[in-house]
Structures are given as C-alpha cells and as structure tokens.
Structure 1
C-alpha cells in the first residue's frame, strides 16, 4: 500500500511538471501584484485551507499574500458537535457568504487571487472567484481537473470555479481524491490533492521569489535560525510580519463607508 501511494504521488509530480508554463504565468501575475505594493488573495474552504497556509506564513515563505481563512468553513478538528464538520460543509454552499467575506477588503485591479477547491463545485469558492473577477482581480484557480469534471456544481446555475478563472492549475489527483485501493475494502484511501496542491503552491512561491529578486526587491523570507543564525532569523521574521501589516493596511484604509478617519 505504501509503494502504491508513493507511485501515484510520483505521477502527480509528472502532472505538475507538465504545467510549468501555467505555473510561470501564475507566478508572474502574483509577482506583479506584490511589486505594486498590493496583495495576492489566497482562499480555500474545507481542507483547501491547507494550501492557503502553505503559501503564507510558514518557513520559506514571504509577505505579499493575504490568507483568507474563514474558521466557520475550515475548523475541522472537533468533527461533531458545536463548530463541527457538518456545519462547515453546509456553510461552504451558502450563497452570499463570499460577498460578506470580501466586504471586509478594499480590492484593487492590481490585486490577484488564488482560489483553491479540489472539486471546484462548492458555492463559496465559486462565488469568491466570481466576485474577484467582477472587481477586476485576475483569478488563478487550483482544482483537481478530473475530479471537477465528474463532480456536480452545488450552484443553481451549474457553474464551477473553472468558469471564473483566468488561469487553471491541476493538482493531478484522481476522481474522488483518494488514490489507494486496499484489497477487501470497497472504498479507496489516501488522498492526493494535498500533495499536488502543495507542490504547485511552492513552485509558484519559488518562481515569485526569483521574479521579485530580479526586479530588485528580494522578499523577506521566514527563515530558520539553524540556517541564518538566531539574530538574523528574528530580524527576518519581524521585517516580514511588519511588511505584511503594511500591505494589509491598504486593504482596510478605504474599505466600505467613508469616515473622517479614512478621509484623513
């Protein structure tokens, strides 16, 4: 079973590698946003939250990304009871919730977005991409193409995340996500979309870092003290977090109803 899973993961890597030109396109879009002083909005509901946090903030990542993590859609560890999985799965198909989330941000056409949904069929990520596009924000969708193609949209008009994407990336996982057939068990186990998604996210990240550096604005990367020394690590973390705050401030300063504060 272990060998079977690893073999299927190697096939996922081949699928990702075949998308190099698309990954480069995504990286260019995101680098242009970051160089403009704006942010790349990263959103995913359910377990797609994993990819959001893989992008930023963690070791080897840098500011320029706005991780939009809605706890009501992603808080899985209780499973049942209050804040349980049933509620999260229900809420990710409630029309209008994406609009309420984005109401908190002053978006710009210089922004870009990465919206992650393996099936591409749940209402909130679909509406999130649609609303981004309506505001002039280019959208990169990270889906599982085979799974999305055979899944039914929860949206009334049948549209999927891919219908509101300027660029589509594929995790390479199979239909249903789980990849290993165990003898005697009638359902497969061990999903693959997280593997493909994490590889794509970090490939994008590496290419964005190259583009920022070549443009004369090398990113402030969260780096372990074991690599750069304790003092330099603290310096990088503080600088990266401060830069994130400065970028984020632009998303709030002029949001919504004007006030004497925003006017000043």
Structure 2
C-alpha cells in the first residue's frame, strides 16, 4: 500500500524554511545588535536574562544550562504564567497588568545586563511590562516577536517591539498557526521553532564575536563529551550564586 503524500507536513516544513530564509534576509542587523549587547554584557560580567509567558516561556528554558549554551544566561521562570500548573489560568494572568514587577523582582536585573523578552503577539500585559521593568533598571531589552501579529492585535496598545531597545521580528503570521489544513482550520504554530532559531543565532554570533577578539565565551559543552566535567563544573560554580535555577 502506497503511503499518502505528506501534504500537511511538507507545507509546514516549507513554511518554516521560508521564514528562516526571511530571518536571514531581513533580521541580520537586529540579530547582530542583540549579539553585540550580549558581548558587552559578558565583558562586564553581567547576566543575560530570558523571559516569556505561555509557550514563550520555552525560550527561557532553551537558553538555560544547555550544551553549547552560555552559562551567564538566567531564565526567568514563573509557574503562574507558564502552562503546567493551569494553562487556562496562565492565559488570563499573562494579560493582567501589575504582575511583571513582582515576577521579575526576584532577579537582580540591572545596568550591564541584557533582558530578552519573548512574546509572539507582543501585546500581552506581562511581557510588555517586563520590557518596561528591564529598561527602568538600566538593562538592554531585546524583544523577539511577530511584528505582523502585533500590528493585527495591538488595537491602539503599545507593543513589545515599540518598548524594546532592539526588536527581532520572527516573521510569523498573526495567530501563529501557518498552514490551512481544512476550510476555516489553520494549524502548525511556528513561533517556538523560529524563537529557538533566533536565540541560537544570537548566541552563536555572540560567541563568534568574542572569539574574533581572542576571548573565550562562558559556554557549556555536552556532559557526554570529553573535558566537559571540569569545564561545566567551573562555570556552574562561577554563576551559581547569581542564577537561582542552577
């Protein structure tokens, strides 16, 4: 029996490839600016924070304690605006004003640090207020968002991209879903794939720029690779007192 053609999967993966190409073509300057902010933070022995609500919180975990990742990255993790303790409630809370300050106040964000805020729509109250919180404390704020989605959803509200010092457009469509699978049914969300690609592009550019200056980035290597034990242990020791999630 002949296997059916992968029409849905093929359309989804082709859309991802097209948007990755669009990132390369249009977001090079923003990615470079974000990488330079990270370079400056590392040189000052500062920290790189990542925050998001809902599914965007996955980007905070993507940057944390990862093989090939930076040890100076601190995820901002608040279970109330994640998904595992109640997705419906989380969706309500991320739209409420006044929550960002108490959520972020556990982290000593300040001058010399960089704060990445992920929000695909770019309009929910908590990520927008998180960006304001970071700027008020002197950190460089990088937004990773969909400009098209923000324009469609803003309804006169100030967006995350407008507040941030640097905005990277993930090239995603309004609503996130990308493939029309049936009449009136659009599926295939893409913001997580694009968000991870953007983060790792920024990280790789950061390390490359440091290497060009003869500097060694505080990067983890896989615990399954030779030499990892001592290197990673030294990095954990260096950052443990400043990262509550180590």
| TM-score > 0.5, shorter chain as reference | yes
Residue 51 of structure 2: aligned partner? 43
For 1:108-257, what aligned pairs fall within 5 Å after superposition?
108-152=110-154, 158-183=157-182, 185-226=183-224, 228-229=225-226, 232-248=227-243
* Greater Cα offset, 33-42 or 96-105: 96-105
1:10 matches 2:17? yes
| 1:4-26: CA deviation from partner (whole Å, max 9, x where unpaired) | 11110111111210211211110
Give the number of equivalent residue pairs: 236
1:41 touches 1:113 (CA, 8 Å); kept in 2?
Answer: yes
SS at match of 1:94: coil
1:16 touches 1:199 (CA, 8 Å); kept in 2?
Answer: no
* Greater Cα offset, 99-108 or 121-130: 99-108
Q: Distance in 2 between matches of 1:48 and 1:133?
A: 20
Task: Describe the shift of the 1:220–1:40 C-alpha distance in structure 2 as closer, same or farther (beyond 3 A).
Answer: closer
Task: Describe the shift of the 1:3–1:87 C-alpha distance in structure 2 as closer, same or farther (beyond 3 A).
Answer: same
5+ long unaligned stretches in structure 2? 1-7
SS at match of 2:116: strand
1:12 touches 1:173 (CA, 8 Å); kept in 2?
Answer: yes
Q: Distance in 1 between matches of 2:45 and 2:36?
A: 14
2:218 touches 2:235 (CA, 8 Å); kept in 1?
Answer: yes
2:110 touches 2:134 (CA, 8 Å); kept in 1?
Answer: no
2:122 touches 2:159 (CA, 8 Å); kept in 1?
Answer: yes
SS at match of 2:115: strand
Q: Distance in 2 between matches of 1:118 and 1:189?
A: 16
5+ long unaligned stretches in structure 1? 77-82, 250-264
Residue 3 of structure 2: aligned partner? none
| 1:203-227: CA deviation from partner (whole Å, max 9, x where unpaired) | 001011122333444124322255x
Shift of 1:173: 1.4
Q: Distance in 2 between matches of 1:175 and 1:70?
A: 26
SS at match of 1:236: helix
Shift of 1:163: 2.3
| 1:42-63: CA deviation from partner (whole Å, max 9, x where unpaired) | 1101100111111222111021
Task: Describe the shift of the 1:35–1:246 C-alpha distance in structure 2 as closer, same or farther (beyond 3 A).
Answer: farther
1:74 touches 1:88 (CA, 8 Å); kept in 2?
Answer: yes
Q: Distance in 1 between matches of 2:59 and 2:169?
A: 13
SS at match of 1:196: helix
SS at match of 1:96: coil
Shift of 1:198: 1.0
Per the normalisation by structure 2, the TM-score is: 0.89
